[in-house]
Amino acid sequence: MAAAIPGWTHVYSGKVRDLYEPVDGGDAVVLVVASDRISAYDHVLPTEIPDKGAVLTALSLWWFDLLGAPHHVVSTDVPDQVAGRAMICRRLAMFPVECVARGYLTGSGLVEYREGGAVCGVPLPPGLEDGSKLATPIFTPATKADLGEHDENVTFEKAAAAVGEGNATRLRDLTLELYTRAAEVAAERGIILADTKFEFGRIPGTDEIVLGDEVLTPDSSRYWPAESWEPGRSQPSFDKQYVRDWLTSPGSGWDRHGEAPPPPLPDDVVDRTRARYVEAYERLTGRTF
């Protein structure tokens, strides 16, 4: 349950973030709080990962500053009880499209490729494997799903039908431009940015498109250690892979295709997952968490 925060009214909770509006009714800004919740296989798990919200917030802020693209963050001067894991942001009219860039083939993109040789309508050459680097990054949009549902990969044409062709073209160009820049920065630090998801919105009353939500965190991106990259297999990653692996192991006793919710995570999985999030932050930023 989202915490009560003086001066703010809770209005929405997603898988990880809680959203608040000013009590005085102002509608220009919102308070975005990153919790320590973690999700997997479309479930929010009953066990939290300590410091996860703080890592996601700190890494997002670092990327927002580094990329230099217009974004929604107004201030980090937030109430003490959420300090370090919250941002005051401009309210945006969000585009109903997840803007995904892929520089490597894996995940749902790999599944699509194996079925038809293309991802979101973008044809790819034969012979690619799990983890293969693409000749050029591709834009593979998805429609936003409700809490507990899968986002659906769609073609550029379907995205354009949802937001207009001009907007879709601009979103594609921004997505690939930001991905390319971020991938270069990550590579300098020995990390592969395999793919990532951006969300964009418009400042109400203007035509300006800005970055919203989080950006380039282990929750919205696949980060792989460059030194261990090897196409043809699943790659080690700086995210919740420990959680996924345990949930699908015999040790969890959980059937991901059944009706029962996931069980609590054991302490060692929690500790290793937290360590991977912190390592991603420290390797990328060069800072100590």
C-beta of residue 106 within 8 angstroms of C-beta of residue 215:
no
β-strands 191-202, 209-212 pairing: antiparallel
Which residue in 59, 56, 66 sits closest to 182, CA to CA? 66
The three-point CA angle 175-181-184 to 5° equals 135
Q: What is the pLDDT of residue 196?
A: 97
The three-point CA angle 85-86-88 to 5° equals 160
Q: Is pLDDT above 90 for 118? A: yes
Q: How confident is the model at residue 2 (pLDDT cuts 50, 70, 90)?
A: confident
Q: Which domains does the chain have, with CATH numbers?
A: 8-90 (3.30.200.20), 93-228 (3.30.470.20)
Phi, psi angles (nearest 5°) of residue 264: -60, 150
- Percentage of the chain modeled with pLDDT above 70: 98
In sequence order, the 6+-apart residues with CB closer than 8 A to the CB of 4 are: 10
Q: What is the pLDDT of residue 280?
A: 96
- What tens digit of pLDDT does each residue of 201-259 get? 999 989 999 999 999 999 999 999 999 999 999 999 998 888 999 999 999 999 999 99
- What tens digit of pLDDT does each residue of 9-53 get? 999 999 999 999 999 877 799 999 999 999 998 899 999 999 999
C-alpha dist (Å) from residue 102 to 149, 175, 177, 288: 22, 10, 12, 29
- What tens digit of pLDDT does each residue of 130-167 get? 999 999 999 999 987 655 456 789 999 999 999 999 99
Which residue in 103, 98, 107 sits closest to 186, CA to CA? 103
Burial of 191 (0-12, 13-18, 19+ CB in 10 A): buried
- What tens digit of pLDDT does each residue of 54-79 get? 999 999 999 999 999 999 999 999 99
